[in-house]
Structure 1
Amino acid sequence: MQDAVRLLMLIEKAAEPVTADDIGGDGALATAVGVVRSQVRLQKLDFWVRNPDYLANELLNDYVDGDQDPTLLQLAGEILDSEEPELRRYPMLRYLFGAYEDLDDALAVLRQADLVVRRRKGRPGHVVRTDYFLLEAGREMTLRICREFEDLAWYSHRATLVVELAGGQGATQLKDRQYVQEEYLKTPNGARIPSITERARQRLAEIRAGAGGAVA
């Protein structure tokens, strides 16, 4: 159930507007309010939700490579100065296309509750893309969860940050961005991607020292 809530929150934040072509004559999509195009993109975004250490490191990358926005350093610090990387980390396996975890059980919960609809493009035996449609009831459920369950609302806040970090990057760009991390790249196929918490914390300390410790 926790996986289902996490994915629902992530789909709600990452969804793009649906078009008439998306819906076509599919009655099950009549109340669709958004769509996440491709399982690969969903998996890559989910990796950052599930691995706060990698997320914080990406925030540091954007800080160093950009205009050194202090907000990015503050957000990375809030993650790495806390126990979040230890308490919230939920490792994923590495396969040919990067971080992966079977989402079928969690998505089945969302489909049975008429919150999300999955549609595959291609032909039997050769699926070229899987899209995830958020229904109106799904959006209403995310709002209810945020109102009534403070602990679960964390997923909504984190999904917002992850989607903002990803910007308009597609699945391939996100995959390539995550492969830059040596630990991720060198993980054997089928093994769990290891933590980079200590490296990220050391990096944060070095950046703060270079900035004169201006950002606590």
Structure 2
Amino acid sequence: MRYPDFLAYELLNKYDETGEEKYLLKAESIIEDQEPDLRSIPMIRYRFGAFENLHESLSLLVSKGLVYRDGNKSDETIKAYYYYITPLSVQLVEDVTAEFPSLAWYDERAKLVKEIAGSLGGSALKERQYKHMSYATTQLGTQIPSIKNEVINRLKALNRAK
């Protein structure tokens, strides 16, 4: 969701794979609605891919009862944290979306991302990202660049081929 142009690119890959027009149309709408310009939230490339320290954001959600954190302990050392949404967060999202319908965009995008990602886990999705040269060649510590122009060119080529 943070890089709508990368989502559009993956939608075009899904279109190439399946031939389902809905993926092409959704990629076109992302570009036509200028989502890469209006909705991108840049991330920094770190050692193992895109990175952002989530502790502050998640701690706020935990403190408000919107997220529950569970630690995976081994020998009294926490190896990993797992975060779960609470019924309160589900209700909040429903209430806020009813009051501000434009926020439904986030729910729609989350569902679309889930559909494209399928059952792939974080490592497999990271491998998929690294297959894209502009992502793979981004210098460590710098912003991952937009691929909007590449998506536009793919859309033009697909439309010419029709």
TM-score grouping bracket, smaller chain normalisation:
over 0.9
Q: 1:71 and 1:121, CA in 2 relative to 1: closer, same or farther beyond 3 A?
A: same
Unpaired runs of 5+ in structure 1? 1-48
| 1:60 corresponds to 2:12 | yes
- CA distance 1:96–1:115, shift in 2 (3 Å): same
Matches of 2:18 and 2:132, distance apart in 1: 22
Long gaps (5+) in structure 2: none
Whether 2:57 is the aligned partner of 1:111: answer no
Q: Give 3-state SS (helix, strand or coil) of 1:50's partner.
A: coil
Mapped to 2, the partners of 1:151 and 1:127 lie a distance apart of 39
Q: Pick from 85, 90, 93: which aligns with 1:139?
A: 90
Alignment match of 1:188 (pick from 131, 139, 152) = 139
Q: Quote the residue 2:102 is aligned against.
A: 151
CA distance in 2: counterparts of 1:134 and 1:192, whole angstroms: 29
Q: Is the 8 A contact 1:145 1:153 kept in 2?
A: no
Written as runs of structure 1 = structure 2, the 5 A alignment for 1:169-184 is 169-184=120-135
Aligned residues: 162
2:149 aligned with 1:208, yes or no? no
Change (3 A) 1:128 1:201: farther
Deviation of 1:123 (Å): 5.0
* 1:90 lines up with 2:41 in the alignment: yes
2:66 corresponds to which letter in structure 1? Answer: L
Cα shift readout 1:92-123 (whole Å, capped 9, x = no counterpart): 11112211112222212211110102223245
1:129 is the counterpart of 2:80: yes
After TM superposition, the score normalised by the length of structure 2 is 0.92
Shift of 1:124: 8.7
CA RMSD of aligned residues (A): 1.8
Q: TM-score, normalised by structure 1?
A: 0.70
Q: What amino acid sits opposite 1:51 in the alignment? A: Y
Superposed CA offset, 1:23-80 (max 9, x none):
xxxxxxxxxxxxxxxxxxxxxxxxxx0100000000001111x221000000000001
SS in 1 for 2:37: helix
Is 1:161–2:161 an aligned residue pair?
no
